[in-house]
Amino acid sequence: MRHVRPLATRLFPAAAALAAALVLAGCAPATTAPESGNDAGPPVAGGTLVYASGDAEPSCLDPHVGGNYPQALVASQYLETLYTKDAAGTLVPWLAEDSTVSADGLTRTVKIRPGITFTDGTPLDAEAVKANFEHLLDPATASSTGYLALGKIKSMKALDDATLELKLKTPDNALLESFAMPWVAIQSPLALKRSQAENCAAPVGTGPFKVASWKKQDAVNLVRNEDYVQPVATPGHEGAAYLDGITWRFIPEAATRYAALQAGEVHVIDNAQPDTIAAATKLQTIKHLDAPRPGASNRIELNSSKAPFNDAAVREAFIHAVNVNASVDSLFFGTAPRSYSPLSSAEPLAYSAESLFAYDPAKAGELLDAAGWSERDSEGYRTKDGERLSLTFPVSTSQSIPAEQSLFEQMQATAKESGFEIKINLLDLSSWYGELFTNDYNLVSAPYTKVGPSVLAVLFHSDSTIPAPSGYFANLSQVKDPKLDELLDSAGSTQDEAERKELYAQAQKLVLEGHYLLPLYNQQNHFLYAGKLQNVGATTAVATPTFFDAWLAK
Partner 1 sequence: MSIDKQDLSPGDPVLAPHPARRPAPGTGGLRALAARLPLLLASAVLAFFVLAAMLPGLLAPYDPLAINPADAFSAPGGGHLLGTDESGRDIYSRIIHGARPSLLIGAAATAIGLGLALVLGTVAGFGGRWLDFGVGRILEVLFALPGLLLALVFIALAGPGVGTTVVAVGLTTAPGYARMIRAQVIALRTSPMVEAATVLGRSRAKILGIHILPNALAPIAVLGTLGLGQAVVWAASLSFLGLGAPPPAPEWGAMLSAGRTYLALAWWMTFFPGLAIVLVAAASTVLSRALKAAGAR
Catalog residues that contact partner 1 under the rule CB under 8 A: 5, 7-9, 254-255, 258, 273, 275-276, 279, 323, 326-327, 329-331, 397, 402-403, 405-406, 408-410, 412-414, 423-426
* b/e per residue 163-194 (b: at least 16 CB within 10 A): ebbbebeebbbbbbbbbbbbbbbbbbbebbee
Alpha helices (runs of H) in 31-151, residue ranges in sequence order: 69-75, 126-137, 145-149
The per-type count for the chain, helices as H runs and strands as E runs, is: 17, 23
Provide the minimum distance between the beta carbon of 21 and partner 1 in the complex, in angstroms, as a whole number: 20
Provide the minimum distance between the beta carbon of 413 and partner 1 in the complex, in angstroms, as a whole number: 4
Q: What angle (nearest 5°) sits at the alpha carbon of residue 21, between those of residues 181 and 343?
A: 60
Nearer Cβ to partner 1 (180/403)? 403
Provide the minimum distance between the beta carbon of 321 and partner 1 in the complex, in angstroms, as a whole number: 14
Nearer Cβ to partner 1 (9/213)? 9
Provide the minimum distance between the beta carbon of 327 and partner 1 in the complex, in angstroms, as a whole number: 5
The values of phi and psi at residue 452, to 5°, are 100, 165
Alpha carbon 279 to chain centroid, angstroms? 26
Q: Give strand pairing partners of 526.
A: 290
Nearer Cβ to partner 1 (204/300)? 300
**CA-closest candidate to residue 271, choices 294, 252, 299, 298:** 252
Provide the minimum distance between the beta carbon of 261 and partner 1 in the complex, in angstroms, as a whole number: 12
Nearer Cβ to partner 1 (106/279)? 279
Alpha carbon 217 to chain centroid, angstroms? 24
DSSP code of 355? G
Please, what is the end-to-end C-alpha distance for the chain in angstroms? 33
Provide the minimum distance between the beta carbon of 330 and partner 1 in the complex, in angstroms, as a whole number: 4
Contact 545, 271 (CB under 8 A): no
Provide the minimum distance between the beta carbon of 432 and partner 1 in the complex, in angstroms, as a whole number: 13
Contact 296, 457 (CB under 8 A): no
Strands, E assignment, 180-225? 209-215, 219-224
Nearer Cβ to partner 1 (253/513)? 253
Nearer Cβ to partner 1 (307/326)? 326
Nearer Cβ to partner 1 (412/462)? 412
Please give the Cα distance from 406 to 259 (Å, whole number).
23
> H/E element holding 412?
helix 402-417
**Residues sharing a CB contact under 8 Å with residue 255, sequence separation 6 or more, in sequence order:** none
Please give the Cα distance from 487 to 122 (Å, whole number).
44
Nearer Cβ to partner 1 (273/297)? 273
Provide the minimum distance between the beta carbon of 398 and partner 1 in the complex, in angstroms, as a whole number: 11
Nearer Cβ to partner 1 (44/283)? 283
Nearer Cβ to partner 1 (150/261)? 261
Provide the minimum distance between the beta carbon of 369 and partner 1 in the complex, in angstroms, as a whole number: 25
Nearer Cβ to partner 1 (143/273)? 273
Please give the Cα distance from 34 to 550 (Å, whole number).
9
Nearer Cβ to partner 1 (68/400)? 400
Nearer Cβ to partner 1 (59/406)? 406
Provide the minimum distance between the beta carbon of 54 and partner 1 in the complex, in angstroms, as a whole number: 12
Grouping H, G, I as helix, E, B as strand and the rest as coil, residue 424 is strand
**CA-closest candidate to residue 121, choices 225, 223, 233:** 225
Please give the Cα distance from 53 to 271 (Å, whole number).
7
Provide the minimum distance between the beta carbon of 332 and partner 1 in the complex, in angstroms, as a whole number: 11
Provide the minimum distance between the beta carbon of 103 and partner 1 in the complex, in angstroms, as a whole number: 55
> H/E element holding 395?
strand 390-396
Contact 70, 76 (CB under 8 A): no
Contact 280, 266 (CB under 8 A): no
The values of phi and psi at residue 36, to 5°, are -100, 180
Provide the minimum distance between the beta carbon of 282 and partner 1 in the complex, in angstroms, as a whole number: 12
Please give the Cα distance from 17 to 399 (Å, whole number).
14
